[in-house]
Structure 1
Amino acid sequence: MRLLLMALMLMPMLGNAAVYKCPEANGRVAFSDKPCGGSAASPDRQLDLKTMEVGINEVQLKEQRRQEQLAPADYISVPVQETYCRALSSAERQSNVETHQIVLGMKEADVRRAWGGPAVVSGERPVRLTYPWRDSTSYVYIVDGCVWRIDGGYGG
């Protein structure tokens, strides 16, 4: 089986080279670029393989990247805990908003005040807020209305 997989992986490199399927004495099958020897030699052993161009064009790549941005965040496992929210004083909340700081436990409304509206909102639990900045993309994950996880920082 490994030989078959190896042969299939190498086929694009072979171009139009011939590939032969040869039975071995132990009952296994081998793939070779040379005709089978002995009683196994037969033109019927040559596989008729067609190669094709594999790749992705610019339009497909852009669409793939767009879909990744829209992908739901449900692949992230959220640990179970009593609460995801943290009590912040009004001074602490105001300071975080003014300095564009997002902290764990912060309410989603304060995230939007600090960073503005996200470009994309996806998922259910956690909800993922996507902020594509000029040089990077940041993600803020919200559970039960509060920040559970932050990937990246403010880039506006």
Structure 2
Amino acid sequence: MKGILMTVLVSGLGSVSAMAQVYTCEVNDRRIFQSTPCAVGDAPMELQITPAATGDGPRMNTGVGDYLQTLKARRQQDRDYRDRMADEASQRRQWREKIERAIQRRQVIVGMTEDQVRRAWGQPTEVNRSTSRSGATEQWVYREKDAAKADYVYLENGTVSGTN
């Protein structure tokens, strides 16, 4: 099917103007184009291919040109979507690697989860909690034995929002 349509399109490229007979059919609520009648007595539509005014290729004076433009736009949308998904996957992978490096260095960074903080610093010596309509906030206190100095981790809804 596509080969026939492409043959019709390509044959028109060599001359200034070309004519082709194409039959349009409705199959499963989709419009298709073919070189043979869909049913007995069907009349072909005339497909005229003329050179484009800009010299960019054939210009189609029927719905075929619109269909090809739509197809081209959909393919570009698909490529854009795949590129966006690949970028997001790459960003997630880079984030995971950043978190793992921080844990290995025994560092806590904004955006870590509670579990990741425990992996980096262990269990807190003290936890101060408060809840409100916007969620839960916690202050994790890390004190060394017999030390006046303490390190603090602040979490909002289970995610590190700051350290001190």
| TM-score normalized by the length of structure 1 | 0.38
Flag the structure with higher strand content: 2
| TM-score normalized by the length of structure 2 | 0.37
From the CA coordinates, give the structure whose radius of gyration is larger.
2
